[in-house]
Structure 1
Amino acid sequence: MRLEKPTKRSVALAAWGEEGLLLVQRPLEDEFGGAWGLPAVSLEGEETLEEAAFRVAREKLGAGVAEARPLAFGVEERPGYTLELWVYEGKLLGKPRLPEPRPGKTYYTAFRFGRPEELKAAARQGSLCSRLFLAVKGLCP
């Protein structure tokens, strides 16, 4: 008998500031360790996709985001689970900062503003959110 893998539902955020697209660096022990990508969270309870997009900014960037709108969706089989991922896009409000890490959550080691093309390295490493964002922008890796 084959067991069904659990489904992980996540939202990544393409947050634009005056200086460009906000990129975050994943921790070295992470699946895509050291890669620069988009911040993301897994949905909690009955949280909506839009609520999760706003939470990404608040929880992972210490900032807000205006007018978060859906941009892309993809599904990928990963070892141990199926990932359903939505990419939202919005305007960053305030100056981002790296919050204090909380147990059980992925936090980033650094952030900087850059260009969408800079997501190509993470996309080549297997980052679904980077691949989806680049595809929508016509910048396939």
Structure 2
Amino acid sequence: MSVVVAGAIWDQGRLLAARRSTPPELAGRWELPGGKIEPGEQPEQALVRELHEELGVAVELGERVPGAWPLKPGYEMWVWLARLGAGRPAPRAEHDEIRWLAPAEVDSVDWLEQDRPAVAEALRRLTA
């Protein structure tokens, strides 16, 4: 099983959501940002790198959210809680919009199906 890493980035009581622009079958849907682990990387290293590449930010990782969410065959997603460090997030190649969502607004975007349970669990931990 290959692991894809994602970050539940939390800042000032809000969760960051990113809208996919590619591939076409995912475009317009929202996700927790992240990506694939490169050979020789630890999952946490990959997530820090991916968030820098995708959003131009540095993050401080917290705990890994318990669970593994199935993606396409052969892939599963692991999620970490993350606090925004340096930089202001901006969409780059794979995203065309980002939004900061207060807990009451989390259901206002069309999350990818596999992200929904991960977002719910991350939000439960972030607001506890």
TM-score by length of 2: 0.78
Counterpart among 77, 100, 111 of residue 113 in structure 1: 100
Deviation of the 1:75 alpha carbon: 4.5
Distance 1:51 1:120 in 2: 28
Q: Measured at CA, do residues 72 and 32 of structure 1 come closer, stay the same or move farther in structure 2, by a change above 3 Å?
A: farther
Size of the aligned set, in residue pairs, is: 121
- Is 1:83 paired with 2:75? yes
Change (3 A) 1:17 1:121: same
Deviations 1:5-27 (A, max 9, x none): xx431001111122611110011
**In structure 1, which of residues 38, 46, 49 is the aligned counterpart of residue 32 of structure 2?**
38
2:71–2:77 contact (8 Å) kept in structure 1: no
Stretches of structure 1 that go unaligned for 5 or more consecutive residues are: 1-6, 102-106
Q: Kindly tell me: are residues 98 and 137 of structure 1, through their superposed partners in 2, closer, same or farther at Cα, counting changes over 3 Å?
A: closer
In structure 2, what is the equivalent of residue 97 of structure 1? Answer: 90
* Contact 1:50/1:68 (<8 A) preserved: no
| Structure number, greater radius of gyration | 1
Matches within 5 A, 1:118-129: 118=107, 121-122=110-111, 125-126=112-113, 128-129=114-115
User: What is the aligned partner in structure 2 of residue 52 from structure 1?
Assistant: 46
User: CA separation of 1:75/1:19 partners in 2, compared to 1, >3 Å: closer, same or farther?
Assistant: closer
Q: Under a length normalisation based on structure 1, what TM-score does the superposition of the two structures give?
A: 0.72
Residue identity in the other structure for 2:37: L
Compute the RMSD of aligned alpha carbons.
2.4
Distance in 2 of aligned mates of 1:120 and 1:72: 23
Shift of 1:92: 0.7
